[in-house]
Amino acid sequence: MISTWRKKRTRGSYGHLNDYILFALLIPIAAFWAFTTLLILQGTGWFKWVGFDFGCFWSATQAFLNTGPASAYDMSIVHARGIELARISGYFAPDSFVTGVSPYPPVFFLLIAPFTQLSPVIDFLTWTLLNTGIAIWVIARLTIGTPLRRTQIALAALLTFPVMEGLVLGQPTGLMMLVMYKCWHSLVQKREFQSGLWAGVLLLKPQYALVIGLFMLLKRRWDFMRGFTLVGLVLAIGSTAILGVSGIEAYIHLLTGISSNSTSIPGIHPGDMLSINALVLNVFPGLTSSMSMLVTIALDLSCIAFLAWIWRGQWLDDPETLTYRLLATLVVTLLISNHNYVHGAVLLVIPCLAICRYRPWTFSMRAILASSLILPPILFLVAIASGWDWWIPVSQSVLVLMLAGVLVSYRQGRFFAQERGPIQAAKTLQGGYLAS
């Protein structure tokens, strides 16, 4: 009895120690985001980096509403709206302000429209508060009923580089997390039609939806595909009705441009992306464009083949297995997308947190997740101090950590059905770790 008490006391002591260590890590990371954002804001003003993406959405939406829907894809018109944004927000040299592209279907601009009615800064802050609130809600739902220290893990998830960068830039970070959470939750609850509906919403950023749609089609998950196709048809028909044929052509032309390695499009920097294409461009800068493309395609196909190996055989509806397979699917999605910055990795927060609904992270996975929390801010500071383009080391470090997570999971056999103990099986049957 004494030895049992000692063991419990030891485990409790280690648990408290881990809590203190995690808090000690989170404090400087939170300080990094606060001070970095304020310093950049002081140096460049609004919408040059802080709120840059929201500024692009604001400018394109103003063009959409005031000049005609198709003008949201005309960069000359969007740029004029961007200069207007710069003047209103007090940018020191508005005529030199550069506005990036917003390669989204027209319904996205209808979503942004309510956030263009006040001053741009107030619009941005309202948008960011909304997305932050949604992100916090999603993280809170994912950590309910799990063997985790909720507060610490929730703060760690919120402070990861993809989440914070997305919020600072003005990306729809919280909305993307909500969509991914609902897609995952419906899938593991065997509500595949609803899961397909939520996955279809990802078509607002088409590069994030195509791989999961492809593999659900190959696995003949017809309920999922009905939901996915329904949303896709609504978006396609709605976009055609709003834009007309010429507007659709302009939209497709813009999508083609941002998927290439062209650097002439404002806001598009292929080497800064979180993708295999960016990795090839950075590691092999001497390759010709055609050879670089061939190497990229070969590596992309290798990733898809690996994913096909993971999904092989009969459909397995074990929630843990599905969660790991969704993690691998999202990693491959990010790797093979040519238009995908670091904030795209926010999608991975959902399966990474969901994994702990079934069993604690292994030591290797904890090390990878801890590195993903610490390494990007360090590389950011080193790059800034050295005068480098910080996007490259940060994005490529996240890419390597993503690959490491998938390979470790594969090595541990987590992508295939596992034997589960009676306690875990009982909790799953009673809805313990899957309580919504």
Alpha helix (H) ranges present in 170-221? Answer: 173-188, 192-201, 210-218
Does residue 130 sit within a domain? no
Summarize pLDDT for 149-185 with one digit per residue, the tens: 677 888 899 999 999 999 999 999 999 999 999 999 9
CB 265 within 8 A of CB 258: yes
pLDDT of residue 432: 38
DSSP 93-104: -GGG--------
Q: How far apart are CA 282 and CA 275, in angstroms?
A: 11
Q: Does residue 307 carry a pLDDT above 60?
A: yes
Handedness of CA 257, 261, 265, 266 (dihedral sign): positive
Other beta carbons within 10 angstroms of residue 390's beta carbon come to: 18
Does residue 262 sit within a domain? no
Summarize pLDDT for 328-375 with one digit per residue, the tens: 999 999 999 988 899 999 999 999 999 988 888 888 998 999 899 999
Does residue 157 sit within a domain? no
Among all chains, which residue has been given the structure tokens 């090839």? 280
DSSP 68-133: -GGGGG-HHHHHHHHHHHHHHTT-S-GGG---------HHHHHHHGGGGSS-HHHHHHHHHHHHHH
Ranges 98-102, 148-152, 242-246: which has the least confidence: 148-152
Does residue 396 sit within a domain? yes
Structural domain of 377:
270-436
Q: Does residue 431 carry a pLDDT above 80?
A: no
Does residue 278 sit within a domain? yes
pLDDT of residue 149: 67
pLDDT band at 263 (very low <50, low <70, confident <90, very high): low
What's the predicted TM-score (pTM) here? Answer: 0.89
> What is the rounded average pLDDT for all residues in the chain?
87
Does residue 277 sit within a domain? yes
Q: For the chain, what is the domain count?
A: 1
pLDDT of residue 81: 93
Does residue 139 sit within a domain? no
pLDDT of residue 5: 40
Ranges 68-72, 129-133, 181-185: which has the least confidence: 68-72
pLDDT band at 433 (very low <50, low <70, confident <90, very high): very low
Greater pLDDT, 229 or 414: 229
For the segment 131-158, the average pLDDT, to the nearest whole number, is: 84
Does residue 426 sit within a domain? yes
